[in-house]
Amino acid sequence: MGTEYVLRLYVAGMSQRSTAAIKNITEICDAHLPGRYDLEVIDIYQHPTFLQRDQIIAVPTLVKKQPIPVRCFIGDLANREKVLLGLDLQDKL
**Distance between alpha carbon 33 and the CA centroid of its chain, in Å?**
13
For the chain, the domain total comes to 1
> What CATH number is associated with residue 77?
3.40.30.10
Asked if 49 and 89 touch (Cβ cutoff 8 Å), the reply is no
Nearest-angstrom CA–CA distance, 44 and 74: 14
Range(s) of the domain holding residue 42: 5-92
CA angle, residues 68, 91, 7, in degrees to nearest 5: 35
Read off the pLDDT of residues 72-92 as tens digits, 9 standing for 90 and up.
999 999 999 999 999 998 764
pLDDT at 55: 92
In this prediction, residue 91 carries a pLDDT of: 60
pTM: 0.91
Which pLDDT band holds residue 93 (cuts at 50, 70, 90)? very low
Please choose, from the candidates 38, 6, 41, the residue with its C-alpha nearest in 3D space to the C-alpha of residue 21.
Answer: 41
Predicted confidence (pLDDT) per residue in 20-67, tens digit = 999 999 999 999 999 999 999 999 999 999 999 989 999 999 999 999
